[in-house]
């Protein structure tokens, strides 16, 4: 038996000798590469925190002590050390979540995988411990240097510093990256700390030199004190943290279990807030990840473990189309600039950055700042394109509303991974944007259905200079072209099915990723003797007069969308119809107002009755016809 086979609880980890802990680290790396290469998942981040996580569980006693992981994609090792060994269905329905999950274990606390939140959670838990008289426990928050670029982390630090008696340990997992190399002033500061580990060596040399000089004790003390302050200011400028009132420990080699244990034990004994600065290497121990400069191993699909190459090459993706079209636009529009929140590669801005490096702004994990900074750029005569995952725009809603829309700023938001994304679970489904943005005055939103309509939507969006525009598209491979057979004042007609003159006439509205489903639904309805028209509004918001008129020309309307149904397109269409005195019933089909467990997109579509067959059956039932 190896060491990993003997681990079922953190108590087992604490019983290991130091040598056995090192053996465990090696076994965990082998396990992760083997398992994640079969299922896909976040490989690089977890390989980087193996020793750190082992040390945490050797020093602290979860769940008595609360461990909080910021952006919990680095919690696979934590899962293993708390008894979760079956990774065969990782991120699949019925299997382990790719993030911490309270449903899985009492050792998991924070499920939200949005970054920069862990310190606020830790602050709140520490305050609760203090007020409830739980002085026998600690709160430990693990946050990456990338997540420290988020403003919320600094709001939390400001408050944590006020609680000098609260037992709170902040582990800064510093690997110089989030999805991409960490940027900004904080990154430069941590770089300085990273490269000044000789501070203690220099100080020791100074002590030996002074003692050999034979100086009197008091003089020696004063000289040492002055030397320590001077060297510290020059070589280890951790004052940024300590000036906040938070003790700083480090930097520590994050791949040395003994060194990390020692630092954590010192922090634990301090009795107040402490920052432990740990240096790690993302992808540690897996050669393809260590040698990769594009961070392809942050999250992977199924790969060949020997080479790191994908098992099945991916098809041309929506993101690639956006990337290509933005470069084309950039060549003819020098005022167009791009903004990313620490995700240059994932959102497709790398080609634009390669051709126009001065026109790309990576603001770190700071979506709020991205939106308001973009409003400022628009005021200054630029047209910013803010590219972000749809789920992460949630964090900047106030800025979209009050800084961009209120000021009629020409800013384009491009939302990647909109709709159901599946395997990353509740916090990553991009299903909230439509309902959320529907209340923003003046905002225009497009949901292209294929490559041609995506390119057209982006070109149209950047031409709008007096209001926010949004272009949303799904995760994954492009669908085949979905041509229109007719155009009605901005509404594309995708299909018409004639039937008996006395047959009920149904309008099926499908946009974006759901356009093919709308066509399939129409085929089924037509096979049951109905007359059916299928349309795609392309620009979903605001609801056009042409679409409202079409509602009045039909007997029944079905809207199909991959966003939250409450407040989505169906709700807007029904409202506009009522305002126009149109009584046609509107059957809105979409995602319920709920948090969805991790599963494939196809499984979620089936569960939510968003397949063409289910939609057609429900429509026939509403019309009183047998299915």
CATH number at 440 reads 3.40.50.970
Is residue 376 domain-shared with residue 245, that is, in the same domain? no
Residue 301 belongs to some domain of the structure: no
146 a known binding residue? yes
114 in a labelled binding site: yes
Contacts for 2-10: CB closer than 8 Å, 24+ residues apart: 2/27, 3/27, 4/28, 4/31, 4/80, 4/85, 7/80, 7/81, 7/83, 8/83, 9/82, 9/83, 10/57, 10/61, 10/62, 10/81, 10/82, 10/107
CB 590 within 8 A of CB 562: yes
In angstroms, the CA 269 to CA 328 distance is 58
pLDDT of amino acid 1: 62
User: Alpha-carbon distance 424 to 566, whole Å?
Assistant: 23
Query: What H or E segment, with its residue span, contains residue 383?
Result: strand 383-389
- Give the pLDDT score at 153: 87
Residue where the block lists tokens 């292209």: 448
Confidence class for position 34, pLDDT limits 50, 70, 90? confident
245 and 389 co-located in one domain: no
What the block records as the tokens of 548 is 């409202």
The answer to whether the annotation marks 99 as part of a ligand binding site is no
Task: Based on the fold, state whether residues 335 and 371 are members of the same structural domain.
Answer: yes
Tell me the per-residue pLDDT of 376-431, one tens digit each, with 9 for 90 and over: 999 999 999 999 999 899 999 999 999 999 999 999 999 999 988 877 777 778 88
Q: Are 387 and 330 in contact (CB under 8 A)?
A: no
Q: Structurally, how many domains does the chain consist of?
A: 3
Decide which of 93 and 289 is more confident.
Answer: 93
Query: Given a cut of 70, is residue 341 above it in pLDDT?
Result: yes
Residues 323 and 443 in one domain: yes
Residue 364, sorted as left (phi over 0), alpha (psi -120 to 50) or beta, turns out to be: left
Q: Are strands 247-253 and 274-279 parallel, antiparallel or unpaired?
A: parallel
Residues 535 and 3: their CA atoms lie apart, in Å, by 60
Domain boundary among 472, 506, 538: 472
Domain end point (choices 442, 472, 502): 472
Same domain (yes/no): 466, 495: no
Residue 125's pLDDT band, with cuts at 50, 70 and 90, is: very high
Is there a single domain that holds both residue 468 and residue 490?
Answer: no
Residues 45 and 184 in one domain: yes
Q: Specify if 310 maps to a domain.
A: no
pLDDT of residue 614: 95
Question: Is the residue at 597 inside a domain?
Answer: yes
Statement to judge: residues 162 and 184 lie in one domain:
yes
389 and 425 in a single domain? The answer is yes
Please check whether residues 551 and 421 belong to one and the same domain.
no
Q: Is 250 annotated among the ligand-binding residues?
A: no
Our CA angle for 24, 9, 278, nearest 5°, is: 55
Partners of 144 in the beta sheet? Answer: 173
Q: Which pLDDT score is estimated for 411?
A: 98
Q: Which pair of structure tokens corresponds to residue 419? A: 């709709």
Can the peptide bond before residue 251 be classed as cis, meaning omega within 30 degrees of 0?
yes
Percent of the chain with pLDDT over 90: 56
- Confirm whether residue 367 is marked as ligand binding: yes
Give residue-wise pLDDT tens across range 476-496: 888 899 999 999 988 999 999
In a domain, 217, yes or no: no
115 is in an annotated binding site: yes
- 37 three-class SS: helix
Confirm whether 504 is domain-assigned.
yes
Residues of the domain holding 586: 486-622
Query: Any known ligand binding at 147?
Result: yes
Using one digit for the tens of pLDDT, what is the confidence trace for 593-627?
988 887 888 888 899 999 999 999 999 999 988 87
Q: Is the dihedral of CA 344, 349, 352, 355 positive or negative?
A: positive
Contact, 130 vs 166, CB < 8 A? yes
* pLDDT above 70: residue 307: no
pLDDT at residue 214 is higher than 90? no
How far is the C-alpha of 295 from the C-alpha of 181, rounded, in Å? 9
422 known ligand binder:
no
**Span 519-550, pLDDT tens digits:** 999 999 999 999 999 999 999 999 999 999 99
Asked if 80 contacts 6 with a C-beta cutoff of 8 angstroms, the reply is no
DSSP for 410-430? --EEEEESBB---TT-TTT-B
Out of 472, 502, 526, pick the residue that ends a domain. Answer: 472
Which pairs with CB-CB distance under 8 Å and at least 24 residues apart come from 374-379? 374/339, 374/404, 374/409, 374/411, 375/399, 375/403, 375/404, 375/407, 375/409, 375/411, 377/337, 377/339, 377/411, 378/404, 378/409, 378/410, 378/411, 378/465, 379/407, 379/409
- Asked whether residue 104 falls in the same domain as residue 133, the answer is yes
The catalytic residue positions are 282, 367, 395
Please indicate if the annotation marks 286 as binding a ligand.
yes
Read off the pLDDT of each residue in 580-600 and give the average, rounded to a whole number.
91
């Amino acid at each position: 038996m190896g060491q990993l086979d003997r681990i079922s609880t953190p108590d087992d980890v604490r019983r290991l000798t130091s040598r056995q802990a090192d053996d465990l680290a090696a076994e965990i790396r082998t396990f992760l590469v083997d398992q994640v290469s079969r299922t896909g998942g976040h490989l690089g981040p977890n390989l980087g925190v193996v020793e750190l996580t082992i040390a945490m569980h050797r020093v602290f006693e979860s769940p008595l002590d609360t461990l909080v992981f910021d952006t919990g994609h680095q919690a696979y090792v934590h899962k293993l050390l708390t008894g979760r060994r079956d990774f065969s269905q990782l991120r699949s329905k019925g299997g382990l979540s790719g993030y911490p999950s309270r449903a899985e274990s009492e050792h998991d606390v924070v499920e939200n995988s949005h970054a920069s939140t862990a310190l606020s959670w830790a602050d709140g838990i520490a305050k609760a411990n203090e007020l409830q008289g739980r002085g026998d426990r600690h709160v430990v928050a693990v946050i990456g240097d990338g997540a420290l670029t988020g403003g919320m982390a600094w709001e939390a630090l400001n408050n944590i510093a006020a609680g000098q008696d609260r037992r709170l340990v902040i582990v800064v997992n510093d690997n110089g990256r989030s999805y991409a190399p960490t940027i900004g002033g904080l990154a430069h500061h941590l770089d300085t700390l990273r490269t000044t580990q000789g501070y203690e060596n220099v100080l020791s040399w100074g002590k030996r030199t002074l003692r050999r000089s034979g100086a009197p004790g008091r003089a020696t003390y004063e000289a040492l004190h002055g030397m320590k302050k001077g060297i510290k200011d020059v070589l280890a400028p951790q004052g940024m943290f300590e000036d906040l009132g938070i003790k700083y420990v480090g930097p520590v080699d994050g791949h040395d279990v003994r060194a990390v244990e020692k630092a954590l034990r010192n922090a634990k004994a301090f009795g107040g807030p402490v920052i432990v600065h740990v240096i790690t290497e993302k992808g540690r121990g897996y050669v393809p990840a260590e040698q990769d400069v594009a961070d392809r191993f942050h999250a992977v699909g199924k790969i060949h473990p020997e080479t790191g190459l994908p098992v099945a090459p991916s098809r041309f993706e929506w993101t690639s189309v956006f990337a290509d079209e933005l470069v084309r636009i950039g060549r003819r529009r020098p005022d167009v600039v791009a903004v990313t929140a620490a995700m240059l590669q994932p959102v497709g801005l790398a080609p634009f950055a390669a051709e126009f490096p001065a026109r790309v702004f990576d603001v770190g994990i700071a979506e709020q700042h991205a939106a308001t900074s973009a409003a400022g750029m628009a005021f200054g005569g630029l047209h910013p394109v803010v590219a972000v995952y749809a789920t992460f725009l949630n964090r900047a809603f106030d800025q979209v509303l009050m800084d961009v829309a209120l000021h009629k700023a020409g800013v384009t938001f491009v939302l990647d991974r909109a709709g159901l994304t599946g395997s990353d679970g509740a916090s990553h489904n991009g299903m909230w944007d439509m309902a959320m943005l529907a209340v923003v005055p003046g905002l225009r939103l497009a949901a292209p259905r294929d490559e041609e309509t995506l390119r057209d939507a982006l070109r149209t969006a950047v031409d709008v200079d007096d209001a926010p525009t949004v272009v949303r598209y799904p995760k994954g491979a492009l669908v085949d072209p979905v041509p229109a057979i007719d155009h009605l004042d901005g509404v594309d007609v995708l299909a018409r099915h004639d039937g008996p003159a006395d047959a009920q006439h149904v309008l099926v509205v499908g946009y974006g990723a759901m356009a093919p489903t709308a066509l399939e639904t129409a085929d089924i309805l037509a096979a049951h003797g109905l007359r059916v028209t299928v349309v795609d509004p392309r620009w979903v918001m605001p609801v056009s007069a042409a679409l409202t008129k079409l509602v009045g020309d039909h007997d029944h309307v079905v809207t199909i969308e991959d966003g939250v149904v409450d407040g989505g397109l169906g709700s807007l269409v029904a409202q506009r119809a009522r305002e126009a005195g149109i009584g046609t019933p509107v059957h809105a089909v979409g995602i319920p107002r709920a948090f969805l467990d991790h599963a494939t997109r196809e499984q979620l579509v089936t569960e939510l009755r968003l397949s063409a067959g289910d939609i057609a059956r429900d429509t026939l039932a509403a019309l009183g016809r047998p299915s």
